[in-house]
Structure 1
Amino acid sequence: MRKFIVLLLLVMGCATLRPGRAKIERQLLDLIKNKAPEGTFLGVSVVDINGREIFSYNADKFFVPASCNKLITASASLYWLGPDYRFKTVLLSDSCKNLYMIASGDPSMTVGDLSELLDRLKVRGDSVWNSIFLVDIAYDTISQGTGWMWDDRPYYYQAPVSSFILNKNMLTADFYYEDSIWKLDIFPPSKLLRIKIKKLEDTLLHQKTYFKGDTTIIELWGKIDTTSTYHFLRSIKNPRVFFKEQLKRILMEKHFAFSDIEIIDSIPENSIDTILIFESPPLHFIVRDFLKYSINIYGEALLKNLGREFSGRKGNYGDGLKAVDSFLIVAGVENLFKVVDGSGLSRYNLSSPKGFVQLLLFDYSHFPIMPEILSSLPIGGYDGTLKKRQHSIEGAVRAKTGTMTGVSTLSGYLKTKKGKLLVFSIMANNYLGSSLKARELQDSILEYFYNRF
């Protein structure tokens, strides 16, 4: 009799849960029907922090993830290398007074860092050299990922990955009219970007960007407003040429004496001494900027660096992807992702909402990944790529965004009004036009869960 009563209570308990679950599903399906952009292929997975499913909609289907792919690269790098890992740019010298700079592939290096490195060298009294050799041994020469769009190459978000990375391998330019002439301010100062005014007409302003040799050309035609300042972010074509140009400029500004700068692919076997090591910020700082601001070149450098650390060879996509695949096996999600690059620029990447939720659950349960991922994700209504979103539930969401033409994804953590922690992934593919409606749908779904739970 007691067994029967216990069984009855369990059945009654299940019965009381099902209508609530059915109501949630009905309300969310209505929300999706009313707000999803026409033609959208949508997938949603929401679980609690213990992995119990709350809502699932096409959660096992595969989608193009865009920059949500960065969660995989960041997690794998933190897991295998640790949050305190640093890139090291090494300076060597030989008995002939030659200087060798071994590029580390550090994606965070800036012209300010390069200037500081040379200041340290000068403080040592080492400001006169015969030849300066830039040693290209960190990564291979493949500068673009598989499946990237060839016509996006001149734009900052598709800057080439290389052993030599400086200011994210991009240039910023301000173009404005002053004192009866057009002026161009480029940072860092460079001869590798030019603006060409093709034709002025009383129509809309048009522009296109392309490479000519190693120079990035921005071509303008149509109506150009002489009272406006036009701001451009553009990729450089050749990282070797760009790094060499900037190094020479800074050396001359600091009054170093040298005969020439050459790029070589190996370290000479003659006697060489290490004279200086310049370290990057720790990996967790790099991951923070990588995820909060979705910096694509960071992802490609981190992926190749994983390959280098795992194989002992020059960093390359093949070895980097093997390291990522090994991490996915450890995380138990190897069948839920197809990864071909580190940033998510390729449309050959495939992921499922269920996969991202399981990955985020793994990250949350593994120290030291958990605090670094949580602190690196954009915060809704507050910073990063979510700064202008989710103001009605400001601070409740920490998530990675992903955006490409016809793709909008969002994966992360939600702390509800009642203090419960949920893990979610919402992926939208195949819609036409702007991503605004897809983002509004994602934010509406999260607002629903925030208030409901």
Structure 2
Amino acid sequence: MIFLLSLSLDSLINELENEGTTISFIFYDLKNDSTIAQYYPNRRLPPASIQKVITTFTALKVFKKNFSFKTYFFRFKDELYVFPNGDPLLKDSDLDVISKKIYELGYRKFSKLYYDDSYFTKSKYPKGWFWDELDESYAPPIRPLVLNEGIFTLTYKFAPKHNFNNLYVKLIKSNVLKYEIISDTILVYGDFNRNSSLTFPQKEPEQFFLWSLKNALYKNNVIVDSVSGFKELPDDAILIYTYESKPLDSILKYMNLESSNLIAEMILRSIGAWIYSRGDWENSIRALKRILYLEGVDTNFIMYDGSGLSRYNLISPKTFIQIYKSAYKDESFFKDFLNVLVEPGEGTLKDRLKQLKGRLKAKTGTLRNTVSLTGVIDERIAFCIIIYGFNNNPQKYRNIIDNLVLMLGAGLEPASPNGQ
């Protein structure tokens, strides 16, 4: 069996190398502290979204699973200030809760509404996010104050009502379907009919938050005369309300299920702000590497963001194994860590590796010319596989990864060619 498996692996690797595609992998038995199989495991490649596993591990080490992000509301004279610290999952429904609470506290009117987002530095994007992706919903600006994960999804059903996400919608006939936001109004150009939809990032998420909050307050009988934008929080401002997020483990689970780039980046920048009091990319990555170093992980890799979207990231499969080895030393932490990863049948593993349902916790990754998968089987067999540089349909390479996981990690027969 071992001989046949070796022949199969050699054939697969030769096929990939001959077509100019690079593969790197390692399978590791955490219980016996031994390597099962590997192929150039130190080879640094773009990891794609499996990089979120590194962000997940570090966040749980820094903040612990019950940590919550807080959004603070201050009063100064007759002005209202919002001071965020990076809650990535604030929704419209949360604004309603916040507005009702402010009303219950006895407030009926504010002259101006400000935000102070100095918890992060002003940079909106990490290095290596390509300019032609910044209009895509998976690459919104990364700021500490954001609503609805930094995106709009506008469908026709909202248009006749002329309101959406507490903003107004105005339709304008045009040959090109596009949008523009002016204060509290979304201008939609084009023939926006029942089959139309727009999903786009919020280019100014703080302003969108303020306008949405203003309208939510109005619905709850609290008047705000004007939305004024950024202003540094006065030293003698009075804290009137604190809104807490869901616990961190719930946020991380959602992040990995949906492979949310925004959540990963906000958590990374929060790590930097927490440790170095400055949520910029450089300090955040420095903080992450410091934690990994203290956990015995070799930090000789290249990392520019927390999500894996940056094309400048270069990380080896062996780095992921070192992370699993560190987590494995603490049984309670290890279980918490695995519980926020993804199982077959859900998220990005909805239609993959169904034979391992109940046994596998993992994270997928996909970029142009890159597919990857990392995880743990039976709370014991850790693995990481990265395939890079192909010029074909990525599904072929996902199937290769899945077959490797079944053969090397789980000792099962490989999947059928269609990956089921």
TM-score > 0.5 by shorter chain: yes
Q: 2:70 aligns with which of 76, 83, 88?
A: 88
CA deviations over 1:91-122 (Å, ceiling 9, x no partner): 2223x332222122211111111221111111
Indicate the residue corresponding to 1:198 in structure 2: 175
Aligned twin of 1:402: 365
Q: Give 2:115's aligned residue.
A: 134
Does the CA contact (< 8 Å) of 1:336 and 1:355 recur in 2?
no
- Quick check: 2:44–2:315 contact (8 Å CA) kept in 1? yes
1:295 aligns with 2:247: no
User: How far does residue 125 in structure 1 lie from its aligned partner after superposition?
Assistant: 1.8
Matched, 1:413 2:381: no
Per-residue CA shift, 1:244-301, capped at 9, x if unaligned?
22112212222212322223342213x3322211111111111111112111011111
Counterpart contact for 1:89–1:277, Cα < 8 Å: yes
User: Which runs of structure 2 are paired with 1:278-289 in the superposition (5 Å)?
Assistant: 278-289=243-254
Secondary structure of 2:265's aligned partner: helix
How far is 1:130 from its partner? 2.9
Letter in 1 for 2:55: T
Deviation string, structure 1 residues 396-424 (Cα, Å, up to 9, x no partner): 32111111110101000123xxxx83111
Which residue number corresponds to residue 343 of structure 2?
379
Which residue type is aligned with residue 245 of structure 2? S
Match for 2:304 among 321, 340, 352?
Answer: 340
Report if the CA contact (8 A) 1:121-1:276 is conserved.
yes
CA–CA distance in structure 1, aligned partners of residues 50 and 84 of structure 2:
29
> How far off its partner does 1:304 sit?
1.0
Give the structure 1 partner of residue 418 of structure 2.
Answer: none
Counterpart in 1 of 2:411? 451
Q: Distance in 1 between matches of 2:30 and 2:164?
A: 45
Q: Give the alignment's TM-score, normalised by structure 2.
A: 0.88
Aligned to 1:163: 144
Q: Which residue of 2 aligns with 1:309?
A: 274
Aligned length, in residue pairs: 410
TM-score, scaled to structure 1: 0.82
CA distance in 1, matches of 2:69, 2:205: 18
Query: Aligned partners of 1:103 and 1:192: how far apart in 2?
Result: 27
- CA-to-aligned-CA distance 1:199-242 (integer Å, 9 cap, x gap): 7xxxxxxx7x6878899988879xx9x7x634442111111221
Is 1:196–1:219's contact at 8 Å kept on the other side of the alignment? yes
Q: Which runs of 5+ in 2 are unaligned?
A: 414-420
RMSD after superposition: 3.0
Q: Separation in 2 of the partners of 1:306 and 1:193?
A: 40
Aligned residue in 1 for 2:325: 361
3-state SS of the aligned residue for 2:411?
helix
Equivalent residues of 1:414, 1:421 under 8 A apart: yes
Aligned to 2:353: 390
Structure 1 pair 130–195 and aligned structure 2 pair: CA distance change class (3 A): closer
Matched, 1:247 2:213: yes
Q: For 1:34-49, what aligned pairs fall within 5 Å after superposition?
A: 38-49=19-30
Distance across 1 between alignment mates of 2:15 and 2:363: 25
| Cα distance in 2 between the residues matched to 1:351 and 1:216 | 41
Indicate if the aligned counterparts of 1:75 and 1:369 stay in contact, CA closer than 8 A: no
Name the counterpart of 1:438: 397
How far has the Cα of 1:373 moved from its partner? 2.0
Change (3 A) 1:219 1:407: farther
- Name the structure 1 match of 2:59: 77
In structure 2, how many angstroms separate the alpha carbons of the residues matched to 1:116 and 1:87?
A: 16
Task: Kindly state the Cα deviation for residue 35 of structure 1 after the two structures are TM-superposed.
Answer: 8.0
Q: Distance in 1 between matches of 2:231 and 2:348?
A: 38
| 1:258 corresponds to which of 196, 208, 224 | 224
Aligned mates of 2:68, 2:246 — CA distance in 1: 6
Question: Are the counterparts in 1 of residues 167 and 186 from structure 2 also a CA contact under 8 Å?
Answer: no
| Deviation digits for residues 52-108 of structure 1 (CA, Å, limit 9, x no counterpart) | 1111112111110011111111111110121122111112223x3322221222111
Q: For residues 155-202 of structure 1, give each alpha carbon's deviation from its aligned partner in whole angstroms, at most 9, with x where no partner exists.
A: 1100101121111110012248x9xxx969875253589787527xxx
Range that drifts further, 76-85 or 182-191 = 182-191
SS in 1 for 2:224: coil
Picking from 18, 22, 45, the partner of 1:63 is: 45
SS across alignment from 2:87: coil
Q: Which deviates more from structure 2 when the two are superposed, residues 327-336 or residues 245-254?
A: 327-336
CA displacement at 1:153 relative to structure 2: 0.7
CA contact under 8 A between 1:192 and 1:242: conserved in structure 2? no
Over residues 9-41 of structure 1, what are the superposed CA-to-partner deviations in whole Å (9 max), with x where a residue is unaligned? xxxxxxxxxxx6554322323345568994321
Equivalent residues of 2:162, 2:169 under 8 A apart:
no
- In structure 1, C-alpha distance between the alignment counterparts of 2:2 and 2:242, rounded to whole Å: 58
Higher Cα Rg: structure 1 or 2?
Answer: 1
Kindly provide the CA deviation profile for residues 376-405 of structure 1, in whole angstroms up to 9, marking residues without a partner as x. 11111x111101112243333211111111
Identity %: 25
For 1:105-116, list aligned pairs within 5 A.
105-116=86-97
Name the CA distance, whole Å, in 2 between partners of 1:402 and 1:273.
Answer: 45
> What residue is the counterpart of 2:153 in the other structure?
172
Distance 2:51 2:291 in 1: 14
Contact 1:172–1:188, Cα closer than 8 Å, also in 2: no
Is there any run of 5+ residues in structure 1 with no aligned partner, and where? Answer: 1-19, 200-206
2 CA distance for matches of 1:133 and 1:335?
40
1:252–1:391 distance in 2 versus 1, CA, 3 Å: same
